[in-house]
Chain A
Amino acid sequence: MAQVTVRFFARYAELTGCETAAISVSGTSTVADVLDRVRETVPGAQNLPPRPLAALNLRQVKLEVCVKDGDEVALLPPLSGG
């Protein structure tokens, strides 16, 4: 098993009512698997878009990238900096 910290920001933090969640997935999981688990366990997460932007350990990644124990996954609403 891998324990992953998931962080929510801006609109997604409002949807879920939280800023972080501790998610457990199997040892051979991807960011997409973490997202599926988030939808199952975090209230309000069913309203997240099908393929949100995601970051793994402070870098944007595709949802197919693998995660490992201790990783931090962030779900990012459409960026609007500047």
Chain B
Amino acid sequence: MNQLTHAPISVEALLGHVQSAERGGTCVFLGTVRKDDDVTGIEYSAYDEMAVAEITRMLDEARERWPEARVALQHRLGLVPLGEASIAIVAAAPHRDEAFAACRYVIEEVKKRLPTWKKELHADGSATWVDPSGHPIAGGLRDR
């Protein structure tokens, strides 16, 4: 499975990587492009090689913490329209506590560590890089 994809994400396909008869709890997190002001979509880009390496490290860490859980992740790149998923994380474990915990761990690490960037596209044809840190740099960035 490619963890970075330019195609729409298939949650069903991801679930196939983690579910089994022994794992009775499955947690799915989807991050979708939100309708904000005049945003018409988000263009995602990545440092592909490092992103894949980071995803591997995050999933290894989750497996160390919750050995019975299985977690899979896919991040979409390129233009993602409103309402479509830019990221999906699925976690399955024997019980729900581990599934929720592993899923939550991975999305929080993604937010801190995954080398990916969002450019918001606006109805007037302009585009704005998103800076979650709230520290604008030259050219002006939207605090998000």
Interface residue ranges, A against B (CB under 8 Å): 7, 9-11, 14-15, 47, 49, 55, 58-60, 74, 76-82
With the chains together, A49 CA to B138 CA distance in Å? Answer: 8
Do A79 and B117 touch (CB < 8 A)? yes
Q: Is the CB of B87 within 8 A of A81?
A: yes
**Which bracket fits the contact residues of B?**
35 or more
Q: Are A7 and B47 in contact (CB under 8 A)?
A: yes
Please tell me if B131 contacts chain A, counting CB pairs below 8 Å: yes
Interface of chain B, main secondary structure: mixed
Q: For B46, list chain A residues within 8 Å (CB).
A: 9, 81
Instruction: Flag if B47 contacts A76 (CB, 8 Å).
Output: yes
A10-B117, A10-B119, A58-B50 as given contacts; A82 in contact with B45, CB under 8 Å = no
B139 touches A60 (CB 8 A): no
Q: Which of B12-20, B59-67, B90-98, B106-114 contacts A (4 or more CB under 8 A)?
A: B106-114
- In the complex, which residues of chain B have a beta carbon less than 8 angstroms from the beta carbon of A55? 47, 50, 115
The contact of A11 among B111, B116, B129, by CB within 8 Å, is: B129
Q: Which of B116, B117, B118, B131 has the most chain A CB within a 10 Å cutoff?
A: B117
For B114, give the chain A residue with the smallest CB separation. A81
Proximity string of chain B (26-48) to chain A, C-beta cutoff 8 Å, 1 when within and 0 when not: 00000100000000000011110
Cβ contact of B144, chosen from A15, A79, A80, cutoff 8 A: A80
* A9–B107 CB distance below 8 A: no
- Contact (Cβ within 8 A) A80 B135: no
Tell me whether A49 and B114 are in contact (CB under 8 A): no
- Give A43 Cβ to nearest chain B Cβ, in Å: 14
Q: B138, A58: Cβ atoms under 8 Å?
A: no
Residues of B within 8 A of A7 (CB): 47
